[in-house]
Structure 1
Amino acid sequence: MMKKMKLVILETSDIHGSIFPINYGTNGKADVGLGKIATLIKKERSHNENIILLDNGDLIQGTPLSYHYARIMKEQQDNPMIILANELKYDAAVFGNHEFNYGKELLKAAVSESQFPWLSANILDVKTGNPYYGNPYFIKEMEAGLKVGILGLTTPYIPNWEQPEHIEGMHFEDAVEAAQKWVRILKEKEKVDVVIVAYHGGFERDLDTGEPTETLTGENQGYQICQEVEGVDVLLTGHQHRQIFGKEINGVIVVQPGNNGRVLGKVTLDLNDQSGSWQVVSKQSELISVEGIKEDRSLLKKVERYEKNTQKWLDQPIGKIKGDMIVKDPLEIRLGDNPLIEFINRVQMEAAGVDISNTALFDNQSPGFPENVTMRDVVSNYIYPNTLKVIRITGHDMKAALERSAAYFMQYDGEKIKVNPAFTTPKPQHYNYDMWEGIDYLMNISRPEGERIVKLEYQSAKIDPDAEYNVVMNNYRAGGGGEYFMYKGKPVIKDIPIDVSELIANYFLEKKTVTATVNHNWKVIHD
């Protein structure tokens, strides 16, 4: 007699420390967070017997709550994200690139506090060549003898972004090569019936046509995994913050559940067992939105003390602004020198002791600074746990970096200024447009990409392509992140291992009142 069963795989990814359904910048309500996701998970469990719950990475970093825990409370308390993941009975988790942001010690503690395995088939120990965290995969045996193998993979591009000391002793293997090796082991040695690959990475190609949608750096190898790795039934993805469902690539069902707990990823497999062998007969993927869903208050109570301490910290007054640093129009901020960006660059320059700096307006939701500044305002504007590096670059490198930033704009068509879709789709990358202080430059966006920097001077003289300049920037950019390849391997003159948000807060605390200034050292023009 033929047996049948339904297997449901639930995926969260890129939760980024989001627990409570609020926007920390305004404290207004928002349809985000594990509190709402928990309600959906419990509902799914009430309807389905055979469920596997997985987190696909970037769990423990990303909100003021997770930042406050990591920087202020970690010695006294367990990680709030792990408390909730344990409570929700996750089966396994995968390392995302942001798991490493707070250093090895905090990550090691998070792993040890977890009542579930963390999977890392392609994060290898340099000395032994074995998986650094010990678990390449996890096997779950379901009812009626169904054996499910879950393989964990992480984008190998992490060394391009992360502080070297945070990943010391680790080698990040190509995700496709690792998948080929370990899927074979799952099928041949472990004899699993179903293979799920949970990959903290996304898709480098159009899912329908296979055409490249980004520079093929190896950061997002999802399409390649589907095409080149035999035996995969389900590919869970993340990292790009996209919402992808209802797609199959080469017979592999794929899903990607956005970010911040806005949706829950769900894959449903129908299986038949004929003569002792389970076969997948149909598969589908969907996303379940948290919009309008009530948060699970009993779950949130487990970490209420973290939230109260965070809110108290966020509302601490730290200084005043004399003048205007409010963001009214993000595009306008990126079209010419302005007090907000000039201020952040000046904080960086003072901290580093150099006179050239670059930074970005990371997000279109960045509010700028009001007259009375609190920690909430700082973390609303500087949303990443970046630190600073001073690197030595040539004038040629500087020009190349400015041309990379100038590609943020479409070529001007005489009507309106438009942002290049490469910086907005599939994932917003406004953080990859840099604005500089300490040099004078003009970007002419009527010209083709690569030919837009029409003026570039330092101390009233043209930049010499062969001369060397010390520039302060965040650690992500200094490592070449955002396709700023000209920075890779450049000499690091100074490393400032303090979060930029902390440097900004300290600047306010020291100066008490900051005057908004703008010297108009750069501008975007069009003929």
Structure 2
Amino acid sequence: MEQHTDRKTGVIPLSQEEVLCKILVTSDIHGYIYPTDYRTDEERPLGLAKLATLIRRERMHTPGLLLIDNGDVIQGTPLCTFHVKNHPNDVHPSIAAMNLLGYDAAVPGNHEFNYGQELLGKAIKDARFPWLSAGILTEETGETAFGKPYVVKTTPEGVRIAVLGVTTHYIPHWEHPRHIAGWTFQDALETVKTWVPRIREAEQPDLMVVSYHGGFERDLATAEPTERLTGENQGYAICLEVPGIDVLITGHQHRMIAGEVGGVTVIQPGTGGQALGQISVRFKRGADGQWSVRNKTAELLVPDAALEADAEVLELARPLESATQAWLDQPIGRVEGDMTIMNPFACRLADHPFMEFVNRVQMEAAGVEVSNAALLSEASKGFADSITLRDVLTNFMYPNTLTVLRLIGKDIREALEQTANYFVLDAGGEIAVNPAYIQPKAQHYNYDMWEGIEYELDITRPVGQRVVKLTRNGAPLQDEADVDVVMNNYRAGGGGDYEMYRGKPVVKEIQTDMAELVAEYIQRYGTIHATCDGNWRVVKGSP
């Protein structure tokens, strides 16, 4: 039968007894509206403006389709940073674009909390769509902190689609306590187990969708664990342990997934606007007049360089984008010597001038003599010659603050053993990156490099026994010796499986984010010097 789109409904009628509905999904946009590489100002095939072209195209064929965002939308680019620092009272550019595109619902991701409750509250207030997260409750009342745990959309044909929102409950392990004060984070899996049957009974939807800002903890084909089963990601368990779910939208891991797990259609559309997720569901009407799911498919619609970005979305953000680009190009200082990173892997094998600089900024800000820091991105290039704000923000893209913990020597040794897990020996006996830090999600930021101690990691030794040298000021660091160590707040909370930090005394918190600390340091000194004292290295066999 030839198909004709009814432009007034949200569906493509196949016949009076069949109907095809679509759900479009974005996730982990992280403030990428323009298709811009902020390191170079070059155009790339990403961003919400490009996805908007695909969204409008799909709406031409399926008007009224559901459009859902799965979280991490207001943080992640210099555009967002510039907005927060200079125009916090304006509507966030991501929210303005989502309002323009007519989103039906959004789920808060973990990075929605990075700027604190006031900015998050304003983003929610400014949105012309509901925010859904069933597992985040207010301590005072026990009610959902974001108003609605779920929504139900009904098509003109009477097809009822329920969307339950849920956010990874692991947020308190990373986020600054003041940013989440007054809220409790219930286990996401248990929350879904509670709400799905409740929604099924109360609403009797024809399609049950769970939009989960979290990812998969197991390989989708083999069911083998792909990470430590901490509860940060529970997508696989949700599919297999909760009856009644038809579709699971996921995110957080920045993966590109479209498929099925245990009969549940699953999707995850990457990060930064890499792809638009599309769920297509065909319904059939039974003799009793009720709709039932006939089949479901998931696919990723990937923009390419030839796809024109949506002009209206671009124009909406243009003033802020232009101001951001001008701000990024402001020179703030210069480097004497070489602080460039030519090879991120080599940077992690031995002390490097850029990482020494990062640690020295942290130590000066905190007033302590020991620090650890990570190279946050494989795209980090360090500093060369003249330094601009663009250089700073592209090396320090997360709004991390600093925390000083009081540790003992034993804690530091355990932390170094955890860091050493980043490496393995490959088939040829050469040092290589542990695959667990690459797949299913790149986690290079969980490898730390230290200043203020001297150490050596031997990757030929068994896991847990790789620290073959650990001294401070040339003397062995004793297990019970007290040491105040500065690190970012994510790590201080135990993020990245650094369990030895949990519950340790907090000596000091520096509330200024790291990018601002680095910019202020460079502006204060004008010229920074590339130095390297060679206090640590990774080896293959110790003398």
The question of a shared fold, defined as TM-score above 0.5 by the shorter chain, is answered with yes
* Cα distance between partner residues in 1 of 2:260 and 2:356: 47
Of 245, 250, 269, the match for 1:237: 250
- CA drift of 1:180 comes to 1.4
SS of alignment partner, residue 119 of structure 1: coil
In percent, how many aligned pairs have the same letter? 51
In structure 2, which of residues 136, 139, 152 is the aligned counterpart of residue 123 of structure 1? 136
1:140: which partner in 2?
153
Equivalences for residues 165-244 of structure 1 within 5 A: 165-244=178-257
Give the superposition deviation at 1:276: 2.1
- The reply to whether residue 342 of structure 1 matches residue 356 of structure 2 is yes
Structure 2 residues without counterparts, runs of 5 or longer = 1-14
How much does 1:417 deviate?
Answer: 2.2
Correspondences of 1:429-444 after superposition (within 5 Å): 429-444=443-458
**Quick one: which of 371, 392, 395 aligns to 1:357?**
371
2:260 alignment partner in structure 1:
248
Structure 1 stretches of 5 or more lacking a match?
none
In structure 1, the partner of 2:169 is 156
RMSD: 1.1
One-letter amino acid of the counterpart of residue 112, structure 2:
E
* Structure 1 residues 194-217: Cα deviation after superposition (integer angstroms, max 9, x where no partner): 110000000001112222111000
Q: Which amino acid aligns with 1:206?
A: D
Determine if the alignment matches structure 1 residue 89 to structure 2 residue 105: no
Answering whether residue 500 of structure 2 is matched by residue 493 of structure 1, we say no
* CA distance, structure 1, for counterparts of residue 232 and residue 187 of structure 2: 9
8 A contact 2:71–2:213 mirrored in 1: yes
Residue 279 of structure 2 is aligned to residue 267 of structure 1: yes
Q: Does structure 1 conserve the Cα–Cα contact (< 8 Å) formed by 2:377 and 2:445?
A: yes
CA distance in 2, matches of 1:176, 1:452: 36
Q: Aligned equivalents of 1:29 and 1:56: distance in 2?
A: 25
Within-5 A mapping of 1:447-462: 447-462=461-476
Structure 2 CA distance for partners of 1:50 and 1:86, relative to 1, 3 Å: closer
1:180-201: CA deviations, max 9, x gaps?
Answer: 1111121101221111000000
Q: Are 2:257 and 1:257 equivalent residues in the alignment?
A: no
Q: 1:50 to 1:308 in 2, by over 3 A?
A: closer
Q: CA contact under 8 A between 1:69 and 1:306: conserved in structure 2? A: yes
Residue in 2 that maps onto 1:113 = 126
Letter in 1 for 2:530: A
Match in the other structure for 1:321: 335
* Residues 208-232 of structure 1: CA deviation (Å, up to 9, x unaligned): 2222111000000001111111111
8 Å contact from structure 1 (residues 240, 427) kept in 2? yes
1:50, distance to aligned residue in structure 2 (A): 4.8
Q: 1:446 to 1:470 in 2, by over 3 A?
A: same
Q: Distance in 2 between matches of 1:290 and 1:485?
A: 40
- The Cα offsets for residues 287-344 of structure 1, whole Å up to 9 and x where unpaired, read as 0101132111221101111101111110111101000011111111111001000001
Q: Is the 8 A contact 1:411 1:449 kept in 2?
A: no
Partner SS for 1:347: helix
Q: Partners of 1:339 and 1:428 in 2: how far apart?
A: 24
TM-score w.r.t. structure 1 length? 0.98
Deviation at residue 174 of structure 1 after TM alignment: 0.7
1:448 aligned counterpart, secondary structure: coil
The one-letter code matched in structure 2 to 1:258 is: G
3-state SS of 1:363 partner: coil
1:455-474 equivalences under 5 Å are 455-474=469-488
The residue number in structure 1 matching 2:8 is none
Deviation at 1:145, TM superposition (A): 1.0
Distance 1:388 1:71 in 2: 19
Q: Which residue of structure 2 lines up, in the alignment, with residue 44 of structure 1?
A: 58
Q: Residues 88-142 of structure 1: CA distance to partner in whole angstroms, max 9, x if unpaired?
A: 0000000100000000000000000000000010001112211111110011111
Question: Are the counterparts in 1 of residues 254 and 269 from structure 2 also a CA contact under 8 Å?
Answer: yes
Alignment check: 8 A CA contact 2:401 2:514 kept: yes
| Separation (CA, whole Å) in 2 of partners of 1:11 and 1:142 | 18
8 Å contact from structure 2 (residues 377, 444) kept in 1: yes
Q: Distance in 2 between matches of 1:250 and 1:513?
A: 58
Work out whether residues 411 and 447 of structure 1, in 8 Å CA contact, stay in contact via their aligned partners in 2.
Answer: no
The amino acid that maps onto 1:220 is: N
What is the alpha-carbon distance in structure 2 between the residues aligned to residue 160 and residue 511 of structure 1? 35
TM-score by length of 2: 0.95
Alpha carbons 2:371, 2:486 under 8 Å: kept? yes
Contact 2:431 2:540 in 1 (8 A): no
Q: Which residue of 1 aligns with 2:17?
A: 3
One-letter amino acid matched to 1:80: P
Distance 1:50 1:87, change over 3 A: closer
Using the TM superposition, give the Cα deviation of residue 262 of structure 1 relative to its aligned residue in structure 2, in angstroms.
0.7
2:30 matches 1:28:
no
Please name the residue that 1:524 is paired with: 538
Aligned to 1:419: 433
**What number of residue pairs does the alignment pair up?**
525
Distance in 2 between residues matched to 1:446 and 1:416, nearest whole Å = 9
Residue number among 389, 393, 408 corresponding to 2:407 in the alignment: 393
- Taking the aligned partners of 2:205 and 2:143, their CA distance within structure 1 comes to 22
Deviations 1:374-400 (A, max 9, x none): 100001111111000001112111111
